Amino acid sequence: MPYPTIGEYKDAIRLAEHSFGSLTHLRLEYDATGALHFSSGNFAVVFKMRDTRTNRPIAVKYL
């Protein structure tokens, strides 16, 4: 079975941003060009999000 592409991970996190259940205070972080902040390697992608209650950055990892 092939692993998801980076684009598929990005689509999934955009769709899930407002459906994290009890984590609805998290928002995706974008850079100055409007691209998502993320890092990838091996078999996972980590997205930078912001906790709107505390204004602290949060890492969300997709496996």
pLDDT at 34: 93
pLDDT at 4: 83
**In the structure encoding, which two tokens stand for residue 10, read together?**
């990005």
pLDDT at 58: 93
What is the share, in percent, of the chain residues with pLDDT greater than 70?
Answer: 95
pLDDT in tens, the chain (63 residues): 787 888 888 888 888 766 677 788 889 999 999 999 999 888 788 999 999 999 999 999 877
